[in-house]
A and B are shown apart, each in its own frame.
Chain A
Amino acid sequence: MTRISVRVDGASYQDDVEPRTLLVHYLREQLGKVGTVVGCDTSNCGACTVHLDGEAVKSCTVLAVQADGAEVTTIEGVARGGELHPVQKAFHEMHGLQCGFCTPGMIMASIDLLQDNPDPSEDEVREGIEGNLCRCTGYQNIVRAVQQAAGELRGDGSGPPANGHGAPAEVDTAAAPHVVGQS
């Protein structure tokens, strides 16, 4: 067992982990962060994508010990103050999900893509998220969602994206964000 210190979605944890434990298993099984899911065993599908110090990683290809001292943000930590992240909101508005299993990883990868390229073309979005598989949507509405979120993130001119590199997550004690009833 190895002791690690890690901040996940704004909360600090010190835990003993087996050296072979994958970050995704640590998140799901030790921290109960089950919003992040496992979709494959070859790092192809990207369903487990989280941010490690602000960069998207597939958490099935990172050992928990590699996250020692790092800041991890999962799908459960991107909404702030009861407000959805613009990418979450755009996935809802553009019908960028159906079964929703790939969605946490897809959103985390998309946020990362928009940090690197705030104004991606359709082709750039498609290439930017090609490490994440979706079986339901045919991707078209995901592409629309990412481009809509890009517009919103650029358009307000109010500083860096809420989950940019410079803004690590804080524990969100506001009510969980809701979308029901928004039309």
Chain B
Amino acid sequence: MTAVEDRTGAPSPEIGKARKRKEDARLITGRTTWTDNMVLPGMLHLAVVRSPVAHARITNVDVTAAADAPGVVAVFTGADLAEEQGSLPCAWPVTPDMVNPGHPSIAVDRVNHVGEAVAVIVARSKAAAQDAVELVDVDYDGLPVVLDMEEAVEGGADLVHDHLESNTSYHFVFDAGEMGTGSDTEQAFADADVVVSRRLIQQRLIPAFMEPRSVVVQPQGDNYTMWSATQIPHILRVMAAMVTGIPEHKLRVVAPDVGGGFGGKLQVNPEEILCLLIARRLGKPVKWTETRSESLMTAHHGRDQIQYVDIAADREGNVKGLRVRLLADMGAYLRLITPGVPALGAFMYPGIYKFPAYRFECDGVFTNKVPTDAYRGAGRPEATFAIERIMDELAVELGMDPMELRRKNWINADEFPFTTVAGLAYDSGDYETATQQALELLGYDELRAEQQRRRESGDRVQLGIGISTFTEMCGLAPSRVLGSLSFGAGGWEHAAIRMLPTGKVEVVTGSTPHGQGHETAWSQLVADSLGVPFEDIEVLHGDTAISSRGLDTYGSRSLVVGGSAVVKAADKVIAKARKIAAHLLEASEDDLEFSGGRFSVRGTPGAGLGIQEIALAIFAAHDYPEGVEPSIDAEATFDPENFSFPHGTHLCAMEVDTETGFVKIRKYACVDDVGTIVNPLIVEGQVHGGLAQGIAQALYEEAVYDADGNLTTGTFVDYLVPSAADLPHFDTGNTVHTAPGNPIGAKGVGEAGCIASTPAVVNAALDAVRHLGVTDIRMPLTPERVWRAIHAGGDGGDRATAGSNAYGGAQTETTAGGGARSSVSNASSLGGDR
């Protein structure tokens, strides 16, 4: 340390500081750039005519009246666009023989789900376009509707796509014995003392981002600019170019302020393609913004799996094997990563436990519903739910404490890195410490005592405690691994740093935020790396003309992969600046030290040059060394070597009113290890938001279709996104075991809360009423279901899948077909019980 540096004092590190967000300035004052805010001269407005039936041939479309309506400029049908629309892309063929029926943006001669586009109105105002929707007359010739996955995979079932042989898109298998990562699963089960089997339902969910999707396309000659409320401007650009034939270099995609995504905006949407096609036809700027009802009905859904889970163990509680068979609802088509979501989950079912044997099978099944795709966690919440639920069931079977069973089987802190039976190399962690802290946060012993008291006194309100100890694979992803999984792209991320003449810094990231706070966190990273003030840094993103390379934001990858690219780019800036500094200071590069944004010469107090001064010097470029370019700007692409593995222990204390079925979270505590914490404020916020969505799956949310394939939860009246009054206070904490696989040491936090919380909540409810004979309750745990499970047995039953009126409780043949269902799998006695 030189005297100069001692006097000025190095600024305290930004990493770890609870910086308030830069993004907030525009968001709290209404100075935002949502796509729907955009108005362009001559802009026309689109409204989409959508199918009211789930499965039918289109025999006629009459647009005459609509075309004549006031303000209407044009009306397009599927037939009009058939030749140029191509097929929406599916980037993840999980098996070589996966069947992809193709996905038109607008239906041409048949519709396969309610809400599918059949015509598009183009009008001078949004209201005029909307008014004309009702004037389009479409004749439908109805076809049998396929909704139930277990029926859909039986021989002779009605077909969603009658040109295909079956409703099965693919059969994906991971067998640890065959892969050499474990022993033979069948043998493990044959040798086991105890086998517990369950049929678990992952209900269909809707991402329900707050900002409805919106697209604006502006044609300029043969160039096009698309603004879209998307998570993935870079991927969208490539895909839209491939689908429409517009050359990639003629298409610019911009994601301005984007109001949440949660995977729901990780998509190439039919409407994005339609806007491009129609802007190309008309040579005019066009805008489409969906209504909430359209969004719930037609934006992709998430989850929707039936899980048949078998676990094998010895009497002492040592797990011996895990067998999972999934039916995963694809919906009517394969969208961007529809088939990959359950396949990604395949690697997470063993959780944090040391299983010697594991086999996973999944059928992707077509139904006449809107396609499923990524929703926060994407495959990992489903897996975590299954393993954490079945561990509780095994504990009950063995008469063991559920935490003791977990402890006996989880990977110990001294065993990292640990290669699991699924072949993943878990990087770091300490499950015991996180668990201890979580137990203290919850006040576990006290609540257990209260539970005992309530049980003994036969209190009408019973108390339960639920456990979920989880890990997840994040930091998607090593490109070579994605290649081995047949994913259509890599998992790298790109960043660039521009040193401006005044010493200010522009950081360009290929990771596109929509609420995560990249502008703040990336500024913190660069402030520490370059030693420049936080305020001197601007983060640019979301515009393919500014951020030329990127793979965008999903899978808890932004900080781990995108942030690492930023740090690598900063390293290159420093390396380039070092040469300039050595030249200007007339010193050897080897004698330079870089600290606090300043190069100083070792052994020469007072001699130094700030990196911001170097930026000006190299802008002038009057004096720089031979053989180097006059620039210290740099870019970097980071491709991770491994996934990162956040983990944590989540505990939920739940009160269940046994007379009304009402459930109330008494206390929720969790301790997560997400590696290095760059900004504790943002990390805590991500955990809170994830918890809210995971708890909402357990207690509130479910996309319900009636027997005709109508979504009966098509508004926020029926699809229960929780309000502040529906959620508890969360007690959160962290342990920190840095990720060895990236220079920041971060593991990813975006999905953790959502992945871990759901089984904790359900396990808690079951723990409260298990002594009353309840062994399962179907999510979401509505009072009706909980009451039924307590008083009528079974798992609380379907909410309203059958009958063509929602909530009617119409006990039609389909709903009552529990016997038929359980014959499909003898893995569970709970199948479809009412």
Q: State which of A61-69, A99-107, A155-163 sits at the interface with chain B.
A: A99-107
List the B residue with the shortest CB-CB distance to A108. Answer: B30
A45 near B716: Cβ-Cβ < 8 Å: yes
User: How far is A142 from B727 in the complex, measured between Cα atoms in Å?
Assistant: 12
Given contacts A99-B515, A107-B28, contact A143 B212 (CB under 8 A): no
Given contacts A45-B292, A47-B210, contact A130 B682 (CB under 8 A): no
Contacts of B721 in A (CB 8 A): 133, 135
Closest 5 CB pairs of A and B: A35-B30, A100-B27, A99-B515, A101-B259, A138-B688
Is residue A2 within 8 Å, beta carbon to beta carbon, of the partner chain?
Answer: no
Most A CB contacts (10 A, CB to CB) among B515, B517, B535 go to B515
Cβ 8 A contact of B37, one of A34, A99, A104: A34
Contacts of A132 in B (CB 8 A): 723-724
| Residues of A participating in the B interface, judged by any CB pair closer than 8 Å | 18, 28-29, 32-42, 44-45, 47, 74-76, 79, 84, 88, 91-93, 95, 97-104, 107, 122, 125-127, 129-143, 176-183
User: C-beta contact mask, B533-570 vs A, less than 8 Å → 1, else 0?
Assistant: 01100000000000000000000000000000000000
Instruction: Enumerate 27 A-B pairs (CB-CB under 8 Å) in ascending A order.
Output: A34-B32, A34-B34, A38-B36, A39-B292, A41-B715, A42-B715, A45-B210, A92-B25, A97-B24, A99-B210, A100-B32, A129-B723, A130-B723, A133-B716, A134-B210, A135-B210, A135-B689, A135-B693, A136-B260, A137-B689, A139-B692, A139-B723, A139-B727, A176-B29, A179-B20, A181-B535, A183-B20
Given contacts A41-B292, A179-B25, contact A99 B692 (CB under 8 A): no
Contacts of A18 in B (CB 8 A): 127
Given contacts A135-B208, A135-B262, contact A44 B715 (CB under 8 A): yes
Given contacts A130-B725, A178-B25, A180-B22, contact A35 B31 (CB under 8 A): yes
Contacts of A139 in B (CB 8 A): 688, 692, 723-724, 727
Cβ 8 A contact of B716, one of A36, A44, A95, A107: A44
CB distance from A19 to the nearest CB of B (A): 12
Contacts of B26 in A (CB 8 A): 100
CB distance from B315 to the nearest CB of A (A): 41
List the B residue with the shortest CB-CB distance to A89. Answer: B28
Cβ 8 A contact of A101, one of B21, B29, B260, B690: B260
Cβ 8 A contact of B211, one of A36, A44, A99, A141: A99
Given contacts A133-B723, A139-B727, contact A92 B28 (CB under 8 A): yes
B30 near A104: Cβ-Cβ < 8 Å: yes
Contacts of A28 in B (CB 8 A): 37
CB distance from A10 to the nearest CB of B (A): 14
CB distance from A168 to the nearest CB of B (A): 18
A98 near B29: Cβ-Cβ < 8 Å: no
B20 near A102: Cβ-Cβ < 8 Å: no
Give chain B interface residues in 23-61, CB to chain A under 8 Å: 23-32, 34, 36-37, 39
CB distance from A44 to the nearest CB of B (A): 4
Contacts of B516 in A (CB 8 A): 98
Contacts of A88 in B (CB 8 A): 28-29
Contacts of B39 in A (CB 8 A): 32
Cβ 8 A contact of A131, one of B262, B692, B723: B723
B292 near A137: Cβ-Cβ < 8 Å: no
B28 near A39: Cβ-Cβ < 8 Å: no
User: How far is A40 from B212 in the complex, measured between Cα atoms in Å?
Assistant: 8
CB distance from A108 to the nearest CB of B (A): 10
User: How far is A93 from B18 in the complex, measured between Cα atoms in Å?
Assistant: 10
Contacts of B259 in A (CB 8 A): 37, 99-101
List the B residue with the shortest CB-CB distance to A178. Answer: B25
Is residue B354 within 8 Å, beta carbon to beta carbon, of the partner chain?
Answer: no
CB distance from A33 to the nearest CB of B (A): 8
Cβ 8 A contact of A95, one of B17, B25, B682, B715: B682
User: How far is A82 from B521 in the complex, measured between Cα atoms in Å?
Assistant: 26
Contacts of A107 in B (CB 8 A): 28
B209 near A135: Cβ-Cβ < 8 Å: yes
Cβ 8 A contact of A100, one of B28, B715, B726: B28
Most B CB contacts (10 A, CB to CB) among A103, A143, A178 go to A103
Is residue B681 within 8 Å, beta carbon to beta carbon, of the partner chain?
Answer: yes
Is residue B257 within 8 Å, beta carbon to beta carbon, of the partner chain?
Answer: yes
CB distance from B41 to the nearest CB of A (A): 14
CB distance from B709 to the nearest CB of A (A): 22
Contacts of A76 in B (CB 8 A): 29-31
List the B residue with the shortest CB-CB distance to A45. Answer: B716
Most A CB contacts (10 A, CB to CB) among B23, B208, B257, B690 go to B23
Contacts of B691 in A (CB 8 A): 138
List the B residue with the shortest CB-CB distance to A76. Answer: B30
A91 near B28: Cβ-Cβ < 8 Å: yes
Is residue B729 within 8 Å, beta carbon to beta carbon, of the partner chain?
Answer: yes
User: How far is A47 from B295 in the complex, measured between Cα atoms in Å?
Assistant: 16
User: How far is A113 from B276 in the complex, measured between Cα atoms in Å?
Assistant: 44
User: How far is A177 from B259 in the complex, measured between Cα atoms in Å?
Assistant: 22
B32 near A141: Cβ-Cβ < 8 Å: no
User: How far is A63 from B24 in the complex, measured between Cα atoms in Å?
Assistant: 30
CB distance from B751 to the nearest CB of A (A): 13
Is residue B291 within 8 Å, beta carbon to beta carbon, of the partner chain?
Answer: yes
Contacts of B210 in A (CB 8 A): 39, 45, 47, 99, 101-102, 133-136
Given contacts A39-B212, A136-B260, contact A92 B292 (CB under 8 A): no
CB distance from A155 to the nearest CB of B (A): 20
Is residue B660 within 8 Å, beta carbon to beta carbon, of the partner chain?
Answer: no
Contacts of A35 in B (CB 8 A): 29-32
B716 near A176: Cβ-Cβ < 8 Å: no
Contacts of B730 in A (CB 8 A): 138, 140
CB distance from A145 to the nearest CB of B (A): 10
Cβ 8 A contact of A180, one of B25, B36, B293, B753: B25
User: How far is A132 from B19 in the complex, measured between Cα atoms in Å?
Assistant: 26
B292 near A40: Cβ-Cβ < 8 Å: yes
Give chain B interface residues in 288-312, CB to chain A under 8 Å: 291-293
User: How far is A84 from B291 in the complex, measured between Cα atoms in Å?
Assistant: 31
Give chain B interface residues in 676-722, CB to chain A under 8 Å: 681-682, 684-685, 688-693, 715-717, 721
Contacts of A125 in B (CB 8 A): 724
CB distance from A101 to the nearest CB of B (A): 3
B689 near A136: Cβ-Cβ < 8 Å: yes
CB distance from A129 to the nearest CB of B (A): 5
